[in-house]
Amino acid sequence: MARIHVHTHGKSHSTRPISRTLPTWSNETAEQVSSLVSKLSKEGLSPSAIGIKLRDEHGIPLARSVTGKTVSQLLAENNIKSDMPEDLDVLVRKAVGLQKHLRAHNSDHRNVRSLELVEAKIHRLAKYYKSIGRLPANWKYAAVIAQLE
């Protein structure tokens, strides 16, 4: 998949397991995985961090292969889902960090451009989430409001 703001093609993710079926060596039940996901979420982990912890510490390659549902779906079932999608939240935090840096170093033109690109991604992603109903229609990214959060 091509990246958005560069002229290269690259992969920014790890490889997923080859098979979506439950491995023979895994002995976790769906209820155990569901309770583990809700426990890890209450500790403050994001859905992607929960998936990494399940993979690395508990030997569960995909929560979906055990439970039939993704980590986000399990969180939504238990009413632990956050109001803003994780990828949009990460971009907003990145923009706030760039704004903080630019207040201290206002002549850093490279980071001005980086902030413009990150904000473009935020607007593009927000438009998508509004169209599918994940964000309210009146949600709007504003740099000043994002600094306060």
Residues 6+ apart with CB under 8 A from 21: 65
Angle at which helices 86-104 and 109-132 cross, to 10°: 160
pLDDT value at position 1?
39
Which domains are assigned to the chain? 1-81 (no CATH), 86-148 (1.10.287.10)
Residue among 37, 35, 33 nearest 46 (CA):
37
CB atoms within 10 A of CB 62: 20
Backbone angles phi, psi at 9, to 5 degrees: -110, 130
CA–CA separation, 92 and 85 (whole Å): 11
Q: Identify the bridge partners of residue 2 per DSSP, sorted by sequence position.
A: 9
Q: What is the pLDDT along the chain (149 residues), one digit of tens a residue?
A: 356 777 776 666 667 777 777 778 788 888 999 999 999 999 989 999 999 999 889 888 888 888 989 998 999 888 887 788 999 999 999 999 999 999 999 899 999 999 999 999 999 999 999 999 999 999 988 876 666 55
| Tokens of residue 20, six digits | 């979506």
